[in-house]
Amino acid sequence: MTAKQHAPATLRNRDPIAEVLARELPGSGTVLEIAAGTGEHAVFFAERFPALQWQPTDPSPETLASIAAHRADYAGANLAAPLLLDAADPDHWPVDAADAIVCINMVHISPWQATLGLFAGAGRLLAAGAPLVLYGPYIEDGVETAPSNLEFDASLKARNSLWGLREAAALDALAAQHRLARSARYALPANNIVLVYRRA
């Protein structure tokens, strides 16, 4: 039985996300992907950005196995072996520095503690000017939340009361606590957005 897992949404969102990453990521260096899930994004982005070293991480042994299985089929040399990383425990991340951090669809499908740790870890690891790139659905002041996102929020909370869509303003406030500030916002398909924060 193969360890590979597949997330159908990956095929739909990887190209729009890659277009944003092409604008926001540095020309070289190491990109730390937090909560890399199945590993499909990691392979796609490593191939799309061959000058960058892509370091996928995840807290789940099952998804780490999936990342490793997808990586085994990748011919390039810029995709590192996946590492066990719990975003909620930023003092024990297995990396000491990164030139960028990417986090796709974690903030709403995890306890708030994971987001607290994500920003704390980003504030510690990133150098001045380096980006933290978040993708997913968020609730924004002055922007009507799509009915599909409200339904998604309700379904997430039904699955786990600690999950749910987060307010972008709360992320902005959290960022400020860790010497990060929002530098960009991109509207993407299916009522998702990308928020970019950069280290002061």
Residues (pLDDT < 70) of the chain are 1
pLDDT of 1: 53
pLDDT of 128: 97
Rounded distance between C-alpha atoms, residue 148 and residue 85, angstroms? 31
The 10 Å CB-count burial string (b at 16+, else e) for 68-86 is eebbeebeeebbbebbebb
Rounded distance between C-alpha atoms, residue 146 and residue 121, angstroms? 31
Both tokens of 157, joined, read: 């909370």
Whole-structure pTM value: 0.97
Q: Does domain 11-194 have CATH number 3.40.50.150?
A: yes
